Structure 1
Amino acid sequence: MSSSPSSRPTALVTGATAGLGAAYARSLARRGHDLVVVARDVERLESTASALRTEFGVEVEVLAADLSDRAALQRVADRVGSREAPVDVLVNNAGFGLRQRFVDGEPADHERMFDVLCRAVMVLSRAATGAMVPRGRGRILNVGSVAGLVPGGGHYSAAKAYVIVLTETMAGELRGTGVSATVVEPGYVRTEFHARSGMSSGGTSSLSSRIWLDIEDVVDASLEDLFAGRPVSVPTKRWKAVSAVLDVVPRRVVSSVWNRMPSGAKRRHPTAGE
């Protein structure tokens, strides 16, 4: 933690060394925020922090933590809830996907997914509101996914559904406090998340390139919605249309269509691209 006070607001971003998390950190720094960057890899954190300090002239605090570890998560929660060095913007972005079904996958893998995608979001969001509400200001951005609207998209979809509903619940409870909560629900985003999952955004993909989103478009749209206090952000008109359809079509129909798809396509559900 920096010993010299700054007049700039502070944003804490989890999963800040790659994909959407790195893009959120850069965009918030560009907007004049000091940063607390959180991820597991200390070397990547230090490299990320150094680059941000050099390019944007902001203060960057490094906090190495595996959010599936409860003691490490609590350290991050304590930082989020600090009254002496307040966090003005929390971005819950950290996450990962599993290329295995829920019913016959490894239980430990699914428990870790739940801890990072659900429990960490809950714990950090609660720590943030506990500090922000008394101050009368603050913003929380939770990275969900259009996958959270798809029954049959595996444990990842279930986890993102939790993030969506939790954030919408928070948004309602926080109304009138000066604090807001927003969930971003992107579709396919071009990040290393998909490379690690064996997905392609190039011409060889069975998916049309038109459905892939650029990171900057997702980040810019969601931050605009965050600072406008909107509870839900779905970047781009085409994904807004997809989201609207998924929201009104009976879930049994969506599930039936999903279950008829080839197994390879099912693994390629829309993801947040952390």
Structure 2
Amino acid sequence: MPEEPDVNISGGPDGGGTDAAAEDPTFAPGAAETRAEAVVDELGEIYWQKAYGGQDAFECLVRTILSQNTSDVASQPAHDSLMARYGEGGPAAAPGGDLARALADADRDELAETISSAGLYNQKSASIQGAAEWVLDAYGSEDAFDAFVREEDPGEVRETLLSVDGVGPKTADCVLLFAGGRGGVFPVDTHVHRIARRMGLAPADADHEGVREAIEAAIPPEKCGFGHTVMIQFGREYCSARKPACLDGPEACPLYDRCDRVGVDELDGEVVDPAEAAD
């Protein structure tokens, strides 16, 4: 995977890097055309822009399935255990280190036990094994699947991934972003879904696809990958589901002036899902 840039090209000096406007006017402060883009630019003053693309497409697919309905704290050990057993050099590795082949041939119970820390391990082991069999049947090899993800039309890739059991919109979009390096892809997880509606960047009653469509329409393609990762980080550090930072006062949240705070009652400290507040 490409290394993270050694400067914060998405933010200005306050973000710990150089003057982004001088290097790339795309990220110039005040140049945003929409509020959603302005939010991403301001997050660029806090978080560093990552490099996207370059991950192995099939391993990325497996990793994202493992992350479904759980935290990184739980899914990362599961991924590490899976790779230690079925990856190249592992006791259950396939000849040539072909991960898809190893997982397609794996004993289901053993696979489930290996990834048990990720939760829903019976369901996820079935999805992972099914995805491995599909990759081999449809493309013949991991390399051919990787080329498909990187080179074919993003819309076609997304629809194809969505046809696989256990692969939803967020999983498909993560593969497009982190393996394919595609611009204009903004995966929506629970953090993004909550924050976009709470801030008023998407309709309060929008589902995950509605949020994705609203954000992708409002943010330039080159900023979507960065926006996805930093909005998740912002949700973890500031805009949590039960106690967003704004409850501690305007100064506690760096995006207070950009936010509609839908579903947040700062006076009584109550927080509800934005969809409930809109009813």
Higher relative contact order (CA 8 A, sep 6+): 1
Name the larger-Rg structure.
Answer: 2
For the criterion TM > 0.5, the same-fold answer is: no
Q: Say which structure is richer in strand.
A: 1
Normalising by structure 1, what TM-score? 0.24
Q: Say which structure is richer in helix.
A: 2
Normalising by structure 2, what TM-score? 0.24
